[in-house]
Amino acid sequence: MTSKQRAYLKSLANGLDPVFQVGKSSLTPEVSEAINEAFNTRELLKVAVLKNCVDDPKEIAAIVAERTHSQVVQVIGKKIILYKPDKKNPKIILEKI
C-alpha cells in the first residue's frame, strides 16, 4: 500500500466511529472472529483499544491484521484502522500508483 493510498483510507476513516472495542481481556479469538465477520459488510473498520487493556495497540493491530487477512492503515493512540477490500464488489477503489 502506497502512502497516497494510506492517506486516502485515513481520510475515509476520519468520520468513522469505532465498531469494536478491545478491553481488559485483550484480543480473544471471539473478537478476532467478530472483526473478520464485519469485513463481510465493510471494507474499512476502526477498532478502539480501551484504557484497561494492557497490550500495545500496535501489537493488537498486527495480530488482528494477520488473523483477518487485512491491512493496518494506521494505529494512532488507542485507535486502529484496518482495511480489507471486498473481493467480489469493492466499494473503496484505491488508485494503482
**What does the pLDDT read at residue 29?**
87
The residue among 67, 70, 17 whose CA lies nearest residue 43 is: 70
**What does the pLDDT read at residue 47?**
92
For residue 35, the surrounding DSSP H or E stretch is helix 29-38
**What does the pLDDT read at residue 91?**
76
What is the C-alpha separation between 33 and 55, in angstroms, rounded?
19
**What does the pLDDT read at residue 94?**
74
3-83 topology per CATH: Translation Initiation Factor IF3 (3.30.110)
pTM score of the predicted model: 0.88
**What does the pLDDT read at residue 96?**
65
> CA 95 from chain center: how many Å?
20
Q: Which residues of the chain carry a pLDDT beneath 50?
A: none
